[in-house]
Amino acid sequence: MDFNSHMRNTAYLDKSADVRMMYFAHRGFPMSEFRRLRLGPVVMKDEIEYFRECHLLAALSHSSDFAVGCYCEDESRCHRSLLRQLFSERGAVIR
């Protein structure tokens, strides 16, 4: 978090790199295969575009449905379990 209570920009980019590698692993091409072949993905450009400010744990909507997806095999070690807990504690209906 920065002084304005915003997540630092590089945290988003760090997470995008993690998710990129999780995607490859989910598709049958884990890091071990990249190492074996002595190659890796090359990112030509990363961009972040912000549409509006959202404070940590702020209510984004009181009536909209949304979905959170990822490629984590173990939900107990995934952001989904944290989000589920936070939303449930605040009265959200989890389906």
pLDDT by 10s per residue, the chain, length 95: 677 777 777 888 888 888 888 889 988 989 999 999 999 888 888 888 877 776 666 666 666 666 666 777 776 767 777 777 777 787 777 77
Residues 16, 47, single domain; the answer is yes
Residues 39, 64, single domain; the answer is no
The CA-to-CA distance between both ends of the chain, in Å, stands at: 30
Residues 8, 51, single domain; the answer is yes
* Region for residue 10 given its phi and psi (left: phi exceeds 0; alpha: psi -120 to 50; beta: otherwise): alpha
Residues 5, 45, single domain; the answer is yes
Q: Which are the contacts of 30, defined by CB distance < 8 A and separation ≥ 6? A: 24
Residue 15 CB: number of other CB atoms within 10 A? 12
Residues 35, 49, single domain; the answer is yes
Residues 67, 87, single domain; the answer is yes
Residues 78, 94, single domain; the answer is yes
Residues 12, 30, single domain; the answer is yes
Residues 69, 49, single domain; the answer is no
Q: What predicted TM-score, i.e. pTM, was given to this entire model?
A: 0.49
Residues 17, 47, single domain; the answer is yes
Domain that holds residue 16: 1-55
Structural domains counted in the chain: 2
